Amino acid sequence: MGVFAFLPLVLPLTAWPIARLAEQHLHPRTATRLLTAVAAVMAACSTLCLALVMVVGTAQLPGNPLPDGWSDPEVRAAVPYDEVVGKAAIPALCAVLAACARTLWRHTRVRRRAHRALAGLPATGVAVLPDETPYAYALPGGRRDRVVVTTGLLERLRPAERRALFAHERAHLTAGHHRFLLTVQLAARANPFLRPLRTAVAYTAERWADEEAARHVGSRRTVALAIGKAALVSRGIPAPTLAGFAAPGPVPRRVAALLGPEPAVRRWPSLFTAVGLAAWCAAAGTAVSAMSSANAAVTMVLILHAATPL
Amino acid sequence: MTERRQGSRRRGQGELEALVLSALGEADGPATAGWVQERLGGDLAYTTVITILTRLLAKGAVTRERSGRSFAWTPASDQAGLAAHRMRRVLDAESDRGAVLASFVTGLGPDDERLLRDLLGRAGHTGRTHSEGED
């Protein structure tokens, strides 16, 4: 078995090509769901394997609270037993858990604070704030779902573009995009190799809402104009992008996509085109890596379960 | 009473500020903290009302003038203005808010602006040759 147990830690690398391809060639809705699922599975497997490497590597160290049976000779024969790696896995696992807890905590804190800031306003689905700074976002909160938008942004858009803006934000809330975003956020914390998936899902979720908005207002061009104008007037807001990064940022890509043809709602491209072949290969690679991750994790759980004296 | 006060604490600062501000808005003119407290049905301690009014003053949501031995308070901005102020503070405090709240647009990179203007120029041109709202 040997190195097999460590594979789930590095296999997320194989998800990079599919993230690129799905982002460019799949319908944004399919891409968002697919990439989020892949990220969640791979993050869970990677964390599980990290925990098991730690358990097997450290269960027989003196003063360890874990059952000695978890590191029996049979277990060590089947999975890599390494004190150094086992010990190194302890801080790694702690870091993963702390980072995930921090992300969750911050997520709930921002949502709570934003809702509290809106206390006192009528409980409507849209909160218009008298503020010169142009911004708009969807604030999820179950029945208290709200679209927050400032007068500074609204007065720079034409009526049709405002409808596009509201349709976009409502699409975020209706489809529960914050859950996808939180999932990939946590996955990226669990395994840094999954970060490209987080970036990809952040983009495809916006594209998904853009397409919904375009369907709602009946014009892709109007949505494109609304996004373009909003981006140009919000320039002052610090960009979370890397300075000097050569590739075009998400906003121009979204506008360009909306000015292009509507994406097809097919599940998968045909196998007999170059794009289709590449997508299928990438998907197969991801599936295999996810399955081997899961396989390694399940095998180790079973071994440890069998070795645990009950 | 204690239980009720705890209840009001649980309501959170934003809500208390909103309550005090709306009570102040119902006054005919400048009102004292005692009047606000009475208006709120004695739910809040006098000192709490003073604290909240002082906080609102710092946010520019109320103004005050000396009348006799105490202050008379007047609302300066409405609920929406206060909410906007609080929201800005929340957003400014969260450097990585994009990770939590899906904004309509993210910031633009160095070359993005030129690229975006090109695209919009093209879209505007298309719009003149085709009818509005057509794809």
Q: Which amino acid is at A309?
A: P
**Would strands B70-75 and A136-139 be described as parallel, antiparallel, or unpaired?**
unpaired
Model pLDDT, residue A205: 92
Q: Do A135 and B100 touch (CB under 8 A)?
A: no
Model pLDDT, residue A243: 35
Give the chain A residue nearest B10 (alpha carbons): A116
Shortest CA distance to A191 belongs to which of A55, A12, A41, A37?
A: A12
Model pLDDT, residue A167: 93
Interface mutation vs chain A, best among B55, B77, B105, B125, most A CBs within 10 Å: B105
Is the Cβ–Cβ distance between A172 and A138 less than 8 Å? yes
Q: What's the pLDDT tens digit per position in B48-69?
A: 899 999 988 887 778 888 888 8
* Structural domain that includes position A204: 2-307
Tally of domains in chain A: 1
Q: What's the pLDDT tens digit per position in B14-38?
A: 788 888 888 887 777 788 888 888 8
Q: Do B133 and A219 touch (CB under 8 A)?
A: yes
All domains of chain B in start order, with CATH? 2-79 (1.10.10.10)
Q: Residue B1: pLDDT band by 50, 70, 90 thresholds?
A: very low
Q: Do A241 and B109 touch (CB under 8 A)?
A: yes
Cβ count near A285 (within 10 Å)? 15
Would you say the pTM of this structure is higher than 0.90? no
Q: What's the pLDDT tens digit per position in A59-108?
A: 666 666 666 666 666 666 666 667 777 788 888 999 999 999 999 998 88
Cβ count near B131 (within 10 Å)? 7
Q: Residue B6: pLDDT band by 50, 70, 90 thresholds?
A: very low
Length of chain B as a residue count: 135
- pLDDT values of chain A reduced to their tens digit, one per residue, 310 residues: 456 667 777 777 877 877 887 788 788 998 899 889 989 988 888 888 888 778 777 766 666 666 666 666 666 666 666 777 778 888 899 999 999 999 999 888 888 888 888 887 878 888 898 888 888 889 988 778 899 998 988 999 999 999 999 999 999 999 999 999 999 999 999 999 999 899 899 899 999 999 999 999 999 999 999 998 888 887 644 444 333 334 567 888 888 888 888 887 665 556 666 666 666 776 676 677 677 767 777 777 777 777 766 5
Question: In this complex, which of B13, B80, B119 lies closest to A129 when CB atoms are compared?
Answer: B80
CB-based contacts of A97, cutoff 8 Å, min separation 6? none
Per DSSP, the three-state class of B114 is helix
Q: Do B112 and A251 touch (CB under 8 A)?
A: yes
Average pLDDT, chain A: 80
Question: In this complex, which of A121, A225, A248 lies closest to B111 when CB atoms are compared?
Answer: A248
